[in-house]
Structures are given as structure tokens and as C-alpha cells.
Amino acid sequence: MRVLDFTLFELINAIKNGDLSWEDVMDEYKIRIDRLDDDLKAYITINENIDKVNLNTPLAGVPLAIKDNICTRGLRTTCGSRILENYIPPYDATVVTKLKEAGAVILGKTNMDEFAMGSSTENSAFFPSKNPWDKSRVPGGSSGGSAVAVAAREAIAALGSDTGGSIRCPASFCGIVGLKPTYGLVSRFGLIAFANSLEQIGPMTRDVRDCALLMNIIAGYDEMDGTSINKECENYLTYLNMDVKNMRMGVLKEFFGEGTEEGVKKEVWNAIHVLENLGMKYKEVSLPTIKYALPAYYLIAMSEASSNLARYDGIRYGVRIDDEGLDWSKAYSKTRSLFGKEVKRRILLGTFALSAGYYEDYYLKALKVRTLIKRDFERLFKEFDVLVGPTMPTVAFKIGEKIEDPLEMYMMDVDTVPVNLAGIPAISVPCGFSNGLPIGFQIIAPPLMEGRLIAVARKLEEELNLNLNPPL
């Protein structure tokens, strides 16, 4: 078995048993990156300064990739933006500290839509990433680089962040597993903010067992994060063999609506019947307020982005353009002109939604809709253990196909944003292919029920036993 074909779990055991050295593993991955990444563009920055690791640790020297909006001490963190192009954080995000203490090696920082604003990774200020299943197509976003790195064997696993689907979308498009945890379960300290009330860091892996293992490392209370949940840590690996018989599964009708491709519907329904054959019971259900989720999400996200990105003024954060002879207002304006088109669009729309005379009509109304969506989920979870449907309405689309139509691009998030509004956990697991491109199956659970997601996803993964090696 090639080193690059090992899962995270298998690689840890091989290193601990002495079958492989972590240095040899690193060499294999670096060779792979050198061979493929000039084309695929998974990484923005490669880590050239790797310290010796302690093998008496849970992760024992395995190579991971980190999305470029998660701070890494001494390693460039750009957020996919020219305005942070040369930013080197003086500290690690809490999740990075936990990974390092567990013995992981950080291979590099992965490409992303600028400030995590996008569903395709085309909004990166540096370059778009390519889908390893078809290099003419997007890998999804905003954690597209992390998904490419994992799918193309340029990292054993990765961290992403999910504000409205940014882990689950690229996981679906690239044929990997991506988990968006309950809001507050994983520390957000050191995550460069886009929309504070929505975003969450989570694992992106080759299989569900690896996902459970990474959750064991990164989950837990952090006093540095005011939104962190103070609860006892779980061992998510114990859920891998949990029996799913007699679990109740709600199939969300709205997730199969207009714009959902027939190939996606077919494979997702096949996955539902696979779970039914394992003893799960399903019923089609409706989430009436879901039709308002997308506009509510974008109003809230853009408003929070407008507030968060105000700090990039050339004085407190980021690049400063201070040409001789410019007064402060022109220097400020020129500095902020470094933001890309999509970031500017969201700042402008968010500022408008928060402005006097419009705050109650837009932002406040969106918050009320958010509460209604949360209550709808709570109502359904009284009857069902999990809710299921497609992760994305389509397979990966062509690079350039939607970038000039923001509304069409925003519509791609229709099945993912409700979860972020409600603050609940969801996982995307591969369930099949359409025209040779992967399809993601989304499983949604009540707050703090990540174990239940892992149990159902693992059973589906084992039953389907898909070949998830891209043709590279």
C-alpha cells in the first residue's frame, strides 16, 4: 500500500508501529505537492520550517493542511486576500495549538475564497483552485484548497471553516468527508472573522473515522473564545460502531427542489434506501421557513462582514498604502481598494443593511427569520434523530461558469446555510457520482449530537464502499 493511500488512522498506526518514519511520510507528501500543486493550486503557502515531532502523541507526526484564515504562528496567513498578503501571525489559533500538541505537522496553508466569501474558491486573490476529479471545474468553497489537498493526496487531512457551507460544499464537490460542528463546540480563537455568529472550524478528511479522530483533538472548551461551549469532551471514535437500527430519518423535501440535478437526486435517494436497509426509518418532511434561509443568511453574513472588515484600514490591520502626498482619507480608500470584487460587494450590501432607516427592514428582520428557522429544526428533531438530503444541488460546475452571476452563485448555498443559521451540526459524506463527479450526502443532527452524525455517516460509507481516488 502506498503511503499516500493510507488514511489518517492507518498512517498514525504505521508510524507508531515503526513501519514508517514520519520524515519519510513528509517526503512523500512534499514530492506529491511538488508534482501536482503547480496545477491544482491547493496551497497558498508551504511550511518550510518543520520541527522534530514527539511520536508519543495521538497524531504522531502526520501531515495536515490548514485553511488560510486560521492563524499559524510564524507562518503566513493571508485569508486569500491581498490586504493580508504578507501577514505573519504572532500566535497560533487554538485548534492549531491543539493539533501541534497532538503531534501533527502543518504542511501549509490552503487556498480559499477571499475572507471565506464564496462557494468556488474563484474569489481567492491569488488563483483559483482546481477540482482533482475534473480540472476544468471548481472544487467548491470557501475551503476549496483544503478539499483539494485531501482529495488529491496532498495532505492526509485538513481543517476548514464553515460559515454557510464552506466545509460541506467543497467536501461534496471533491468527494471527501466534511463536518461542520455545533456552533461553539470547536474554538474560533485565531479564526480570522467573516461572520462571527455563523462560522465554525471543522475537519475535512478521507473517511468518517478520520473525521471522528480529528474531532477528538480539536473539540473542547476554550476560555479565549467567548462563544465556546463549556462541556465535557467526548470520544467520537466510540460512535463508529453504533447501531443505527430504528433511528428516525427525516428527508427534507425542500432540499430536492428547483435547481437540484437529477443525478444528485438519484444518488441521494439511493443512499437513503441504503440506510433504510440498515434498519433506519424515513419519512419525507417539510421545513417551511427554509425558503427564507438564503436571504436571511446573506443579510446577516454581509452585515457581520461589513462590521468585521472595517478594521482593515491600513492603520490597525493589514497592508497600508501611504503614497506620498495622500491625505488620510485617500490613503484609507486606496488601502481598502485591495479588497476583491466579492468582498467589496458584501461590505457594501452589509453596510446598507445596517444603515439608519434600513436596519429594522433588513438586518433585524433577518434575525427574526433566523429564530423561526431554528424553531423549525427544533420541531423536527422532536420526531427525527437526523435530517438528510443533498449537500449541494449540483455536482461541481465549470470554472468561470457562475462567477459573473453573484445571485446564481449564492443559490448554490441553498441546502447548507440553514444549518449555520440554526447553529447545529452537519456532515457531508460521499454517496455516489454523476457524470464521473462526486455527490455529497448531508446528514444534520440536533446541537452537540456530532456522535450521531458520525454513526450514520460511517454506516453509509461502509455500505457504499465507493472508490474515491481522483484520476490524477
**CA 187 to CA 291: how far, in whole Å?**
30
Catalytic site residue 166?
yes
Beta bridge partners of 248: 281
- Residue 18: what residue type? G
Q: Which of 120, 142, 187, 306 is catalytic?
A: 142
Using CA atoms, how far residue 418 sits from 198, 261, 292, 405, 421, in Å, is: 10, 20, 9, 22, 5
| 472 burial type by CB count under 10 A (0-12 exposed, 13-18 middle, 19+ buried) | middle
| Residues contacting residue 9 through CB under 8 Å, at least 6 positions apart | 209, 210, 213
Catalytic site residue 291?
no
Q: Which of 67, 109, 130, 180 is catalytic?
A: 67
**CA 287 to CA 275: how far, in whole Å?**
22
Answer left, alpha or beta for residue 157, where phi above 0 means left and psi between -120 and 50 means alpha: beta
**CA 411 to CA 169: how far, in whole Å?**
12
- Candidates 430, 424, 461; CA nearest to 287 is 424
Using CA atoms, how far residue 378 sits from 302, 322, 329, 373, in Å, is: 26, 52, 48, 9
Angle between helices 94-101 and 208-218 (to 10 degrees): 110
Q: Which of 81, 143, 166, 306 is catalytic?
A: 166
According to DSSP, residue 75 is labeled B
Which helix (DSSP H) or strand (DSSP E) does residue 283 occupy? strand 281-285
Beta strands in 105-211 (DSSP E): 105-110, 157-162, 177-180, 200-205
Catalytic site residue 142?
yes
**CA 59 to CA 104: how far, in whole Å?**
5
- Give the residue numbers annotated as catalytic, written as ranges: 67, 142, 166
